[in-house]
């Protein structure tokens, strides 16, 4: 073969190999960068890849986390993985204080659905000074995608003189309502979410033993506080209902 043709063939082969490698890397990076949602003690976190670390940010804090000063978007964990082994930093928050980090390490479960991390969380005084440390176990469970909710079928046509039927939530829409309750009463889809959640919640209360039923009730009360914090924000209310329906779907 002529030397020029050999050089062109070699160059073409290397170029094709490079393009294939870039394609694979791009595909791998895309899969790794897909956000995942996790439950942490009643709160929802969202994880994403940033360099070599996985960063977990608060998506929807529980009532307890809110009282501690945690807000949506706060970084809760920065973790690097070495196979199933995990290590990195967890962040603790306190109202009126800057966040503080502490080291954690642990493992990802074999099925990739849960994470257990352990560390020593700093205990701070009212002056934001670390006075001691407490053993802490951070348990994360992957949140399954909320099942699609089919909106209710439209009511049959009514004569012009008769008003259209309106969807109702599980609670009475008369009397004095909170801003979030009034918003739910005025929105057929939110009202449908509320009825579905109420049915699932009541069914679970009858199926669980007394201790777990009590815990479910306490969790529901915390969620109602979270729902109330949405006020009249429809997107916030819809997200709250989808989150709670997904949580209840995982109760066994």
Position 164 pLDDT exceeds 60: no
How sure is the predictor about 22, in pLDDT bands with cuts at 50, 70 and 90?
A: very low
The range of the structural domain enclosing residue 207 comes to 179-249
Cα separation of 215 and 217, whole Å?
Answer: 5
Q: Which residues contact 144 (CB under 8 A, 6 or more apart)?
A: 246, 249, 250
Cα separation of 48 and 249, whole Å?
Answer: 24
What value does the mean pLDDT take over residues 154-165? 53
pLDDT at 49: 84
Cα separation of 207 and 229, whole Å?
Answer: 30
Cα separation of 14 and 6, whole Å?
Answer: 12
Looking at 114, 142, 170, the residue that finishes a domain is: 142
Is 122 in the same domain as 207?
A: no
pLDDT at 163: 39
* CB distance 56 to 38 below 8 Å: yes
pLDDT at 25: 39
What value does the mean pLDDT take over residues 9-16? 50
pLDDT at 227: 94
* Number of Cβ within a 10 Å radius of residue 28: 10
- pLDDT digit string (tens) for 183-197? 999 999 999 999 999
- Asked whether residue 24 is domain-assigned, the answer is no
Our count of domains for the chain comes to 2
pLDDT at 155: 66
Q: What is the DSSP string of 208-247?
A: S-HHHHHHHHHHHHHHHHHHHHTTT-HHHHHHHHHHHHHH
* CB distance 75 to 56 below 8 Å: yes
Q: At 69, which CATH number?
A: 2.40.128
Q: What is the CA radius of gyration of the chain?
A: 25
What value does the mean pLDDT take over residues 103-118? 89
Cα separation of 171 and 92, whole Å?
Answer: 37
Within the chain, residue ranges assigned H as helices are 3-32, 63-67, 179-185, 188-207, 210-229, 234-249
Name the token pair of 69. 């000063």
Is 92 in the same domain as 186?
A: no
51: left (phi over 0), alpha (psi -120 to 50) or beta: left
Is 118 in the same domain as 194?
A: no
Query: Whole-structure pTM over 0.95, yes or no?
Result: no
Share of the chain above pLDDT 70, in %: 77
pLDDT at 128: 87
- Asked whether residue 157 is domain-assigned, the answer is no
- Asked whether residue 15 is domain-assigned, the answer is no
Is 138 in the same domain as 58?
A: yes
What value does the mean pLDDT take over residues 9-31? 45
- Asked whether residue 69 is domain-assigned, the answer is yes
Share of the chain above pLDDT 90, in %: 32
- pLDDT digit string (tens) for 194-228? 999 999 999 998 999 999 999 999 999 999 999 99
Name the token pair of 139. 């348990």
pLDDT at 21: 42
């Amino acid at each position: 073969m002529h030397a020029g043709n050999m050089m062109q063939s070699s160059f073409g082969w290397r170029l094709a190999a490079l393009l294939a490698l870039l394609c694979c890397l791009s595909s791998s990076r895309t899969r790794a960068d897909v956000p995942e949602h996790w439950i942490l003690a009643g709160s929802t976190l969202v994880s994403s890849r940033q360099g070599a670390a996985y960063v977990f940010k608060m998506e929807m804090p529980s009532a307890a986390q809110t009282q501690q000063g945690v807000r949506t978007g706060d970084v809760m964990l920065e973790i690097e993985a070495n196979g199933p082994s995990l290590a990195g930093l967890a962040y603790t928050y306190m109202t009126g204080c800057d966040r503080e980090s502490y080291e954690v390490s642990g493992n990802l479960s074999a099925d990739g659905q849960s994470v257990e991390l352990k560390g020593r969380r700093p205990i701070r005084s009212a002056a934001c000074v670390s006075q001691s440390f407490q053993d802490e176990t951070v348990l994360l469970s992957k949140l399954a995608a909320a099942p699609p909710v089919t909106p209710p079928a439209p009511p049959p046509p009514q004569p012009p003189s008769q008003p259209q039927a309106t969807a109702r939530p599980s609670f009475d829409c008369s009397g004095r309502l909170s801003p979030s309750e009034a918003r739910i009463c005025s929105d057929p889809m939110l009202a449908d979410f509320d009825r579905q959640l109420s049915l699932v919640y009541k069914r679970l209360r009858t199926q669980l033993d007394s201790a777990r039923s009590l815990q479910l009730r306490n969790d529901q009360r915390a969620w109602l506080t979270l729902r109330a914090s949405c006020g009249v924000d429809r997107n916030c209310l819809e997200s709250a209902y989808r989150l709670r329906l997904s949580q209840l779907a995982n109760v066994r």
